[in-house]
């Protein structure tokens, strides 16, 4: 685990060293405390802004060396743009922008004046800044050689100063639990595939028992007994045995059905017999991003003691070519009893999810089931790396997830479902085939899954473009983004947690 900053909240104070951070609007307007600093330095902020061309644009930064006589060694000015147009998700991005612009070295401690020209920040905004700082500070260097004589770097100490520091500290207790879930998801996706196989991934799920989560691990014999032959078919070409991990957090009213989260956990995907091109195949260690998001969300719910009934179900397999691997043309019988003709062994994630959806719905009768999967390259062609594809027939849940995405920055975009697309996966030899061809590949994959969701309130999130390999941004600088954890936690908190406001926020996307 990387060294993350130690963040505390305090009443308004100026630092005795390190870097002082202030926020400026696009007209270089400052908060009261920042104006006092500017006055004490004879207008240093505005003079430096003129010299550096700093305009106060959102997420822009300007670092200034402080003159003698001022306790802080540096002053970092971070742009807000028009403060009236800041969204909730922008505050974490501002925190990430702070970390990205801070100097390293012995004077690395930081004091952030939590104010805008309009006044002190609220507790929620201060906690989001802290979250952005934490997520931007994350890096993955576990396997880089380190010299024995190199001292371990000290954790950066950050004070967020001003406003109601007690309320901000309490808000941070909750938000930091969510951040820990995001980082757990990132760690899993970043791990190399020779280290993190299905068994090792299941061990990570079992570790949630320390937070009070009930965890059950299903091994191949039990999966065979449960007739999860679509899932087992994906794993049969690998020497590493499949696992299914079931995580239960039942802290809501006993009579309320759970929210179910289902994740694709293909720890490495060669494509099987329909093998992928060699170029870029190393990225397929991230094909378990859906399962990582589910574990991260379950961690977040437990760590913040969410008042909700939730279950996470993940299928953990490796897709390899081998003499025992399934072939194009094979027909498998899923747990639902529906038969599937294998057209392309690289369309394997939907086979895993098919059995997981059937088992989850039959066992828990959830009030809503959401599956997450790095499922198709087609969704990247359609949406790039900035939105996950969202598929559901329900307008209300679509609106709720869209709102949760806008609030957290984990954006989703609703995609179509219809009988016309569904017909593309009909098979001559079985009930269906596992791919509908080149066109609308993300849609036909969703239509495939819909056949196993039956009459349940169901959502499919295709996170292939957002779960890993997305461009660096203000809060994520590694291969893995941790996408989905903040989205799902917020969706549950707003619409399913005991006492939540369950009113849809607007029309479907």
Q: What is the DSSP string of 232-295?
A: HHHHTTSSSPPEEEEEEEE-S-TTSPPEEEEEEEEEEE--TTSPPPSTTGGGGGGTTHHHHHHH
Composition of the chain by helix, strand, coil, percent to 5: 40, 20, 40
Active site residue 276: yes
CB-based contact 415:446 (threshold 8 Å): yes
Burial class (CB in 10 A: 0-12, 13-18, 19+), 255: exposed
Q: How many CA atoms lie within 13 A of 380 on its CB side?
A: 15
Q: Which residues of 281-297 are buried (b: 16+ CB within 10 A; e: fewer)?
A: eeebbbbbbbbbbbbbb
10 Å Cβ neighbour count for 215?
A: 16
Whole-angstrom distance, CA of residue 380 vs CA of residue 52: 38
Q: How many CA atoms lie within 13 A of 83 on its CB side?
A: 17
Whole-angstrom distance, CA of residue 456 vs CA of residue 443: 19
Among residues 156, 350, 414, 451, the one annotated as catalytic is 350
Query: Which among 289, 183, 297 is positioned nearest to 249, based on CA atoms?
Result: 297
Active site residue 505: no
CB-based contact 489:185 (threshold 8 Å): no
Residue 451 CB contacts under 8 Å (≥ 6 apart), including other chains: 338, 354, 422, 432
CB-based contact 452:336 (threshold 8 Å): yes
* Helix, strand, or coil (residue 390): strand
Query: Which among 341, 484, 460, 313 is positioned nearest to 409, based on CA atoms?
Result: 484
Q: How is residue 424 annotated by DSSP?
A: G
Among residues 276, 367, 477, 505, the one annotated as catalytic is 276
Whole-angstrom distance, CA of residue 425 vs CA of residue 341: 10
Q: Which residues are catalytic?
A: 276, 350
């Amino acid at each position: 685990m990387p060294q993350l900053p130690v963040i505390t909240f305090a009443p308004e104070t100026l630092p005795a060293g390190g870097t002082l951070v202030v926020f400026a609007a696009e007209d270089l307007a400052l908060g009261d405390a920042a104006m006092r600093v500017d006055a004490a330095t004879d207008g240093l902020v505005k003079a430096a802004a003129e010299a550096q061309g700093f305009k106060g644009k959102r997420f822009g930064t300007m670092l200034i060396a402080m003159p003698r006589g001022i306790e802080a060694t540096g002053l970092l000015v971070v742009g807000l743009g028009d403060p009236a147009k800041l969204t909730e998700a922008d505050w974490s991005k501002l925190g990430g922008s702070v970390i990205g612009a801070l100097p390293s070295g012995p004077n690395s401690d930081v004091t952030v004046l939590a104010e805008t020209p309009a006044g002190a920040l609220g507790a929620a905004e201060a906690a989001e800044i802290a979250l952005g700082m934490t997520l931007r500070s994350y890096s993955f260097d576990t396997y880089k050689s380190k010299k024995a004589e190199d001292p371990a770097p000290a954790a950066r100490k950050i004070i967020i100063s001003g406003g109601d520091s007690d309320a901000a500290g309490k808000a941070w207790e909750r938000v930091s639990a969510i951040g820990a879930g995001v980082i757990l998801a990132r760690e899993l996706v970043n791990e190399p595939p020779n280290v993190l196989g299905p068994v090792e991934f299941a061990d990570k799920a079992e570790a949630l028992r320390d937070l009070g989560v009930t965890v059950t691990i299903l091994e191949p014999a039990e999966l065979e007994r449960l007739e999860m032959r679509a899932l087992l078919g994906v794993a049969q070409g690998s020497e590493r045995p499949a696992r299914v991990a079931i995580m239960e957090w039942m802290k809501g009213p006993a009579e309320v059905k759970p929210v179910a989260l289902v994740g694709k956990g293909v720890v490495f995907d060669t494509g099987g017999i329909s093998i992928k091109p060699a170029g870029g195949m190393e990225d397929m260690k991230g094909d378990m991003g859906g399962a990582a998001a589910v574990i991260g969300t379950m961690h977040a719910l437990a760590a913040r003691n969410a008042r909700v009934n939730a279950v996470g179900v993940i299928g953990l397999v490796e897709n390899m070519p081998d003499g025992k691997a399934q072939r194009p043309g094979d027909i498998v019988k899923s747990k639902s009893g529906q038969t599937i003709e294998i057209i392309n062994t690289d369309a394997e994630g939907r086979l895993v999810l098919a059995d997981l959806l059937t088992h989850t719905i039959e066992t828990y009768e959830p009030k809503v089931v959401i599956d997450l999967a790095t499922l198709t390259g087609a969704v990247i062609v359609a949406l790039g790396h900035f939105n996950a594809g969202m598929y559901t027939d329900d307008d209300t849940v679509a609106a709720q997830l869209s709102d949760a995405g806008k609030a957290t920055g984990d954006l989703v975009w609703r995609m179509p479902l219809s009988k016309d697309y569904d017909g593309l996966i009909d098979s001559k030899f079985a009930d269906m085939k596992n791919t509908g061809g080149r066109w609308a590949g993300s849609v036909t994959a969703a239509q495939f899954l819909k056949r196993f969701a039956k009459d349940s309130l169901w959502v499919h999130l295709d996170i292939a473009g957002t779960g890993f390999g997305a461009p660096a941004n203000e809060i994520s600088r590694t291969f893995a983004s941790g996408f989905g954890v903040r989205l799902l936690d917020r969706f549950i908190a707003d619409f399913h947690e005991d006492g939540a406001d369950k009113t849809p926020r607007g029309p479907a996307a």
